[in-house]
Amino acid sequence: MPSLPLKRSRQRAFRPGEAHWLAEYLHELTTFPNSKYDDQVDSTSQALAWTKQRPSASGWIEFIRRQVEAQRAGGSTAMVKLKVPDGVMHVYLEDGQLVAIRPDRTMDVSEENAKPLLAAGYQRARL
């Protein structure tokens, strides 16, 4: 997948090599601020800024990477529904993923992420 260097940064942003929307997207990025449209530039810059502000942003990337590896290896990415203690609004998982708690006080996590939560007193929710 080709990458675009980020100005004043050692990081790189990746883009697909082919996509039906790619030419229009790159045109908008490269002609900004003199182009007619800038919504994709705005959303791209906001997403890049967000990832720099949140050190845990890599957590969800790691979570997806592990799921893909498990699927390729024929492993399970089964999810577990847990009941969350009162007063808890969000949970940071060991892999860095931030999970918002549903109004019914439950959350879905992978089997791997459920283990430390179960050890800490969380319970499996009844389906």
Per-residue pLDDT of the chain (127 residues; tens, 9 = 90+): 455 555 545 556 667 778 888 888 888 888 988 888 888 888 888 877 776 665 555 666 777 777 777 777 776 567 889 999 888 888 888 777 788 888 999 999 888 889 999 998 899 998 6
pTM: predicted TM-score of the whole model, two decimal places: 0.43
Torsion 110-116-117-118 (CA) sign: positive
Angstrom CA distances, 106 to 90, 97, 98, 120, stand at: 11, 16, 14, 15
